[in-house]
């Protein structure tokens, strides 16, 4: 939705406001607690949110999207049945119950996180300062309708390599269970005038983190 018009004002809020309804923290924490079951990765869970029907994506609040995507993932991955979700059958204990996150492990699991830098056989072909062009289409090149992290507003745009971040897991592959396929990741800087017809300031810029597969050398 980057660059879209018509969304209205941004409403600031006090730093002490963390959640806006009693069920929000539970929605957050239930989602976080299911991650360590190891049945999906972060790219799959992002893609599950993107795959919600557009009318649901538009009408759901933030944590409603999380809940809906989690319910879909749980069924897709066979962790719960549709009947269980509907309350229409006896609940069967899960064979994965041994893997459930315990209170004692929470601090360690949150502190460990899930780093995505990996050794890669893909040789970096760009260096800081190189002029590059992004893919003309912000779509997954292998999977129709698949996950990608190139926003539509930056498709087919000319920018410059700011730095290489190392080699990271490639979401376009990892979201579809096709392997981590790590490759070079770059911070790429674009003049605002390359992205928008009416930039606010001649020197404004937007930086995106983009995988090598999204980029080619600028002619």
Q: Which parts of 72-91 interact with other proteins (CB under 8 A)?
A: 72, 74-76, 79-80, 82, 84-87, 91
Q: Tokens standing for 199?
A: 């930039």
The binder of other proteins chosen from 78, 179, 209, 218 (CB under 8 A):
209
d(CA 32, CA 29): 5
Please choose, from the candidates 154, 153, 149, the residue with its C-alpha nearest in 3D space to the C-alpha of residue 168.
149
Helix, strand, or coil (residue 33): helix
Tell me which residues in 120-139 interact with other proteins (CB under 8 A).
Answer: none
Query: Is residue 115 involved in binding other proteins (CB under 8 A)?
Result: yes
The nearer residue to other proteins, 130 or 163, going by C-beta atoms, is 163
The binder of other proteins chosen from 151, 181, 193, 194 (CB under 8 A):
151
Query: Is residue 156 involved in binding other proteins (CB under 8 A)?
Result: no
The binder of other proteins chosen from 40, 120, 150, 212 (CB under 8 A):
150
Query: Is residue 206 involved in binding other proteins (CB under 8 A)?
Result: yes
d(CA 64, CA 69): 8
Query: Is residue 181 involved in binding other proteins (CB under 8 A)?
Result: no
Write out the E strands in the chain. 131-134, 158-168, 183-191, 205-211, 215-217
- CA torsion 76-79-83-85 (nearest 10°) is -90
The binder of other proteins chosen from 40, 70, 135, 172 (CB under 8 A):
70
The nearer residue to other proteins, 103 or 219, going by C-beta atoms, is 103
Q: Closest separation between CB of residue 121 and other proteins, Å?
A: 19
Q: Angle of helix 62-76 relative to helix 42-50, nearest 10 degrees?
A: 110
Query: Is residue 94 involved in binding other proteins (CB under 8 A)?
Result: yes
């Amino acid at each position: 939705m980057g660059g879209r018009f018509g969304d209205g004002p941004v409403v600031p809020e006090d730093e002490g406001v963390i959640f806006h309804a009693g069920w929000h923290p539970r929605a957050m924490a239930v989602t976080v607690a299911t991650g360590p079951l190891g049945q999906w990765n972060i790219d799959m869970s992002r893609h599950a949110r993107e795959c919600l029907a557009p009318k649901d994506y538009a009408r759901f609040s933030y944590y409603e999207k999380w809940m809906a995507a989690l319910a879909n993932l749980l069924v897709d991955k066979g962790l719960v049945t549709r009947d269980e979700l509907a309350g229409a059958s006896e609940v069967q204990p899960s064979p994965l119950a041994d893997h459930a996150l315990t209170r004692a492990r929470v601090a360690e699991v949150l502190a460990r996180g899930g780093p995505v830098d990996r050794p890669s056989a893909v040789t970096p072909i760009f260096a800081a300062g190189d002029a590059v062009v992004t893919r003309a289409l912000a779509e997954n090149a292998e999977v129709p309708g698949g996950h990608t992290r190139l926003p539509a507003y930056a498709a087919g745009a000319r920018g410059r390599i700011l730095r290489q971040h190392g080699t990271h897991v490639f979401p376009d592959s990892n979201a579809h269970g096709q392997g981590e396929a790590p490759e070079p990741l770059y911070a790429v800087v674009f003049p605002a005038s390359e992205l928008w017809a009416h930039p606010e300031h001649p020197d404004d810029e937007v930086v995106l983190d983009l995988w090598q597969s999204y980029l080619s050398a600028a002619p």
